Structure 1
Amino acid sequence: MREAYEGTTSDQKLIETILGVSAKSQFCYGDGSMESMDEVSCNSIVKVPENKNFGRPIRAWGSVDLESLKLEEENIARVVPGRILALRFFPTNDMKMIVVGNKFGNVGFWNVDSNMEDGNGIYLYRPHSGPVSGIVIQPFSLSKMFTCCYDGIIRLMDVEKEAFDLVYSSDYAIFSLSQRQNDIKSLYFGEGQGGLSIWDERTGKSSNSWNLHEDRINTVDFNSENNNIMATSSTDGSVCIWDLRNIAANRPKFLKMVSHKRAVHSAYFSPSGSCLATTSIDDKVGLLSGPNYEDISMIYHYNQTGRWISSFRGIWGWDDSYIFIGNMKRGVDVVSVAQRKNVTTLESPHMSAIPCRFDAHPYKVGMLAGATSGGQVYVWTSC
């Protein structure tokens, strides 16, 4: 980590914070003894469901009052230079830490509650030589984080070792990165022109690969209720749902395919796994629902961001009610699943740029982060 650090102040505080929270997480959940967790948030009880495979909390589940979401000036920071492509909250209830990756190969950390630290809680590294396209944080070992890049590299940031270790190298660009909740030893990533590969941490090698699309895979996501069900979005204009148990090496067959008229930049399952939201540059947000995702709605949303702004990717909040997506007027549009339309827009005079990429805090209902092409991060809260 030292070799990649580009900050002007010491990063020792960041290392100590992550190691402390990681140790606490392993103490609480490492033996799988905790069945569930209740959190008091904004005067409501938020239930955190149990991971069926580990007996540990996955993420919070709860409804949010859209009118309560506010953007305070202290919840804005420029975390990295240039365009942000990837954004993640650390999956813990013990700190509000955001990590982002940009087009220059930087990975930046922002400890939102540590404005009194040197550097306002912001720490900048450059472990990659090209655009950072994906971030995966180990949910039960917070001191480990994977990042991937267009340069064909996957690195493991191991805070205990204070290093960004090279774990995978390819001649092809890596465009997306994901992990199944019941298989934390494997990484799934979109590689080259439509390929999907699996890297096994136990062997340190790629264990499987398939050609699933005719063009790059922009996102890979797994159903929370059945981790064998996977969704991929592609620049070839399609979204496909797959069953990992039934993908043949030479002739992969999807369970479901939905076509957009232009490139699809994201496809994410809802928190319950019963819906799938897609975002395409054809100015549509797709919504798939029903037992076999047979009910398909295409909702108009202007998605023409141009070449200087990261493409929009609609994400789910903390239940299956709403999809959050940026707009070109420096706001956050909220699409209602029930009404199949945009029902409101989150706006603030503090918004000086267009939010493109988002993440909902997995344990704090009502905490939404949006990132811009200028390196800024905005954090909306409901309290």
Structure 2
Amino acid sequence: MDFAKFRAGQAQQIATLVGDAAETAAAVVPVAPKPKAPPKAASHKKKATPVKRTAAVADLDDAQPRRSSRRNPGRAAKLQEDDEALKKHQEEQERLDAAEAEERNRLKHGDRPIEAREGGVNDALGQDSLDELLDRLAAYDVKDEDAELKWNVGERPKAEPDKMRKAAAGWDLRAIVKIIPDRIYSMTVHPDPSRDLVFAGDKTGNIACWDATDAGTLRPDLDAETKTKIRDGLKKEDGDDDDDEVDEDEAEEDERQWGKWWHWRAHADQSVSFLKFRPGERKSIYSSSYDGTIRATNFETKQSEEAIDASEWNGDTLVHSFDFDAATGNELWASDDDGGLLFRDLRAPKSTTKRWEIDGYKVGCVSINPANSGLAATAHLKRYMALWDLTTLRGLPEDTDWRDVREKALVTGFESKYACSSAYFDPTGTRLATTSYDDKIRLWEVEPKTAIQDLANVETFKPKQEILHNTQVGRYVTVLRAHWSQVPTLPPHLFVGNMHRTVDLYSPAASKAVRRFDSESLTAVPAVTAAHPTREGRYFGGAASGKVSFWTEDLPEDA
């Protein structure tokens, strides 16, 4: 079709119609003659009523042809096809999202096997080796721990800072090994008195175990021939001539053994915030996570199962900390990001878990007093440490407003200048230590059996001592927490990471560190710390790189 001719014809038709319409309008509405100019004296004369031209306009509209494009039907069909395709795409995406959510839910809440992630980090060992480790851990009997080496719970031991300073003088850096993929958030040490087994949790839900028992010692197969092979290998790697010297530090590193390590996925892509062994039961390790759950990794069954799901109350909540009662290990308490304190008796089903709001903001730490399981300490984002009467709390309805909870179950507390990041009782239950962002470690003395009654009317629980300590971790360093040593053969002391890339030991009777572990080998802050609970002089520091540093006594070959 010649569209130019077609459009010219349309224009001609329109012009003709317009002309006809004008003639019709002239016939229907005659033009009034022009009135004469009125005399000035007749200004009061009425004006002529104007003639409306509505009829002519209406006739013109009726006569006007309406233009339509032959392309419109095709465009409408195309739009309809696009809408149907978009609808199908949206339905398919919704189906995929639902399947993905179901899989995430299964990974988060379901039981699953402990599967080694072989070779992922610095040649981590595989499944067969991990199974051997788990079998050995499952066979461990708590009776192997010396029953005589126990704290006198409820009795406050002497601080003896000089004795502690002397004991720590011979401890030094033994080894640094990367054992886990990402930034370390939590650590704990297995109580086996014959081995050094440290567990670490990282930013992406992994748990690692490092057997550091022989770390730093000379290789058992090291002889003159092996030494020659090591040096020849280093020369070949460096492309050096035979006459060139070998880097002695590299050679010495290859001449020593650094232990064994394994890691596995414990939580679904969220930080492992805390790790702890259940008192009196060493066949599993408990871990909390920012995915809102607490899980138990069972060494006997080689399975991980869920113990608490805090997301039942709030789907986005984070679990920061947990603790057990020291007497039985059956009562599990946890704190979350929404001001909640959760409780489960591990002898009862998971569905019996209860939760009370004790604050309107994050509760970052909870500690149960070893001498009185009805007394708990918590650390709060809103700058304070609090002591709680758990017996009263458990008697309150779960939906009690947190202000009413504080009115009824709060014993006393202390408010610092900035957020309180941790609060822990010592192994005897007679001392309490907190860290906060005002660069202070605070210590209190507690009478655990009578504290609830004695402190009920104390508005501000003033600390016994304050120690200056840099706690300004910033964004990329895990929060510093001061922990108590559990070893009963040493004087009571705290260990905590330092922003100056050290781990510091503090006595409750000294304002300065009795020992500071430092080394030029440390390139990052050992923010997360742990210590062996039954062996003297074994301290660990975890960094954002996934590396763990190990301090202990000097080796005979290095003395």
Q: Do these two structures clear the TM 0.5 threshold for a shared fold by scoring above it? A: yes
Listed one character per residue, the Cα deviations across residues 8-32 of structure 1 (whole Å, up to 9, x for unaligned) are 3423333333433442415x37xxx
Query: Could you tell me how far apart the structure 1 residues matched to 2:153 and 2:463 are?
Result: 28
Match of 1:214 among 355, 360, 366: 360
The farther-off stretch of 182-191 and 301-310 is 182-191
Shift of residue 149 of structure 1?
Answer: 0.9
Report SS of the residue matched to 2:136.
helix
Match of 2:481 among 313, 316, 332: 313
- 2:190 corresponds to which residue? 90
- 1:104 corresponds to which residue? 204
One-letter amino acid of the counterpart of residue 5, structure 1: A
- 1:335 corresponds to which residue? 506
**Contact persistence 1:270–1:320 (CA under 8 A):** no
Question: 2:516 matched to 1:377?
Answer: no
**Contact persistence 2:138–2:300 (CA under 8 A):** no
Question: 2:342 matched to 1:194?
Answer: no
Query: Could you tell me how far apart the structure 1 residues matched to 2:147 and 2:308 are?
Result: 35
The farther-off stretch of 349-358 and 289-298 is 289-298
Report SS of the residue matched to 1:17.
helix
Query: Could you tell me how far apart the structure 2 residues matched to 1:3 and 1:245 are?
Result: 37
**Contact persistence 1:299–1:341 (CA under 8 A):** yes
**Contact persistence 1:235–1:263 (CA under 8 A):** yes
Query: Could you tell me how far apart the structure 2 residues matched to 1:150 and 1:256 are?
Result: 29
**Contact persistence 2:504–2:513 (CA under 8 A):** yes
Gaps of 5+ in 1: 38-46, 53-61
Query: Identity rate of aligned residues, in percent?
Result: 25
One-letter amino acid of the counterpart of residue 116, structure 2: Y
Listed one character per residue, the Cα deviations across residues 194-253 of structure 1 (whole Å, up to 9, x for unaligned) are 101012322223433221223222221122222222111121211111232222523332
Report SS of the residue matched to 2:356.
strand
- 2:525 corresponds to which residue? 354
Match of 1:204 among 337, 350, 356: 350
C-alpha spacing 1:295/1:124, structure 2 compared with 1 (3 Å): closer
Query: Could you tell me how far apart the structure 2 residues matched to 1:3 and 1:277 are?
Result: 35
**Aligned positions of 1:43-192 closer than 5 A:** 47-49=149-151, 63=164, 65-72=167-174, 75-113=175-213, 120-128=259-267, 129-169=269-309, 170=311, 171=315, 172-192=317-337
Shift of residue 4 of structure 1?
Answer: 4.4
**Greater share of strand:** 1
Query: Could you tell me how far apart the structure 2 residues matched to 1:181 and 1:217 are?
Result: 21
- 2:236 corresponds to which residue? none
Shift of residue 300 of structure 1?
Answer: 1.8
**Contact persistence 1:136–1:179 (CA under 8 A):** no
Shift of residue 352 of structure 1?
Answer: 2.5
C-alpha spacing 1:24/1:176, structure 2 compared with 1 (3 Å): closer
Question: 2:401 matched to 1:299?
Answer: no
**Contact persistence 2:153–2:428 (CA under 8 A):** no
**Contact persistence 1:283–1:302 (CA under 8 A):** yes
C-alpha spacing 1:271/1:320, structure 2 compared with 1 (3 Å): farther
Listed one character per residue, the Cα deviations across residues 98-123 of structure 1 (whole Å, up to 9, x for unaligned) are 11111111111111126689994111
Query: Could you tell me how far apart the structure 2 residues matched to 1:285 and 1:91 are?
Result: 27
The farther-off stretch of 132-141 and 81-90 is 132-141
Query: Could you tell me how far apart the structure 2 residues matched to 1:370 and 1:240 are?
Result: 28
Match of 1:224 among 360, 370, 373: 370
One-letter amino acid of the counterpart of residue 336, structure 2: E
- Aligned residue pairs total 358
User: C-alpha root-mean-square deviation of aligned residues, in Å?
Assistant: 2.7
The farther-off stretch of 108-117 and 273-282 is 108-117
The farther-off stretch of 267-276 and 4-13 is 4-13
**Contact persistence 1:271–1:320 (CA under 8 A):** no
Query: Could you tell me how far apart the structure 1 residues matched to 2:137 and 2:422 are?
Result: 31
Question: 2:457 matched to 1:289?
Answer: no
Query: Could you tell me how far apart the structure 2 residues matched to 1:160 and 1:306 are?
Result: 40
Query: Could you tell me how far apart the structure 2 residues matched to 1:89 and 1:15 are?
Result: 19
Query: Could you tell me how far apart the structure 2 residues matched to 1:24 and 1:368 are?
Result: 22
Query: Could you tell me how far apart the structure 1 residues matched to 2:274 and 2:326 are?
Result: 17
Query: Could you tell me how far apart the structure 1 residues matched to 2:116 and 2:133 are?
Result: 17
Listed one character per residue, the Cα deviations across residues 154-177 of structure 1 (whole Å, up to 9, x for unaligned) are 222112222122333322221112
Report the structure number with the largest CA radius of gyration.
2
Give the TM-score normalised by structure 1. 0.84
**Contact persistence 1:334–1:343 (CA under 8 A):** yes
- 1:57 corresponds to which residue? none
Question: 2:157 matched to 1:11?
Answer: no
Query: Could you tell me how far apart the structure 2 residues matched to 1:49 and 1:101 are?
Result: 28
Shift of residue 298 of structure 1?
Answer: 2.7
Shift of residue 96 of structure 1?
Answer: 1.3
Question: 2:430 matched to 1:274?
Answer: yes
Query: Could you tell me how far apart the structure 2 residues matched to 1:325 and 1:13 are?
Result: 32
Report SS of the residue matched to 1:266.
strand
Query: Could you tell me how far apart the structure 2 residues matched to 1:183 and 1:94 are?
Result: 25
